[in-house]
Each structure stands twice: as structure tokens, then as C-alpha cells.
Amino acid sequence: MGTAYLPSPLHIVGYLFFSALVPKSVYMYFLDTTPEVAVARVKKRGETEMFETYAALKKIRVKALALTRFDKWLIVDSNRVIDEVAYVLGKVVD
């Protein structure tokens, strides 16, 4: 998913390249968070990276969600508190 940070359409080429080389798991999760929630979490953390602005997170999220179509990613709503997300992940693994 890190290839979502690449410019379009290189993010797709990069994903397909790495997807062909890196072993896959039956448990591939995409923890989806809206840009609003992500920005709030970044501010709470107290440190900001260059790709952690609202505009950047919005753009990267769209590209990353599009990449989930290439493989069997389970998209998990991660706007919830961490305990709820962990519970959902635990249910899927069981």
C-alpha cells in the first residue's frame, strides 16, 4: 500500500510489481480511515509529516482504496476506537 504515495499512474505499476514479488497472506487488511479522522489522530500525536495534511491524506486514501481491488483485501473501518477495530480483526481471524 505504500505505493499509493507514488504519483499516478506509477502507484499502480509499483503495486503490481511488488504484489508479484512479495508473498501474500490470506489475511490482508486495509485499515480505512477518513482523512478527517486521520488528521485528528496526527494532531493528537503532535508530529506532522509532509504527507499528513488533509489534502494529501484524502488523495492517498483514494489511490490506496483503488489498489485494494487488485487483491483480496479486507477493508476495515478504522474510524472507530482501537479496541473496536481490534475486536473486528479478531473476529475475522477466528
pLDDT the model gives residue 46: 84
Residue 21 CA to residue 7 CA, distance in Å, equals 21
pLDDT the model gives residue 48: 74
**What is the tally of structural domains in the chain?**
1
Give the global pTM: 0.86
Q: State the CB neighbour count (10 A cutoff) for residue 83.
A: 8
Half-sphere exposure of 22 (CA within 13 A, CB side): 11
Full residue range of the structural domain in which residue 46 is found: 2-93
Which pLDDT tens digits describe the chain residue by residue (94 residues)? 999 999 999 999 999 999 999 999 988 999 999 999 999 998 898 877 778 899 999 999 999 999 999 999 999 999 999 999 999 888 876 5
pLDDT the model gives residue 49: 79
Tell me which residue has cell 492517498: 60
Residue 33 CA to residue 16 CA, distance in Å, equals 23
Instruction: Kindly give, in sequence order, each residue whose CB lies less than 8 Å from that of residue 76, ignoring residues fewer than 6 positions away.
Output: 29, 30, 31, 32, 85, 88, 89
Instruction: Please answer whether residues 48 and 4 qualify as being in contact, where contact means their C-beta atoms are separated by less than 8 angstroms.
Output: no
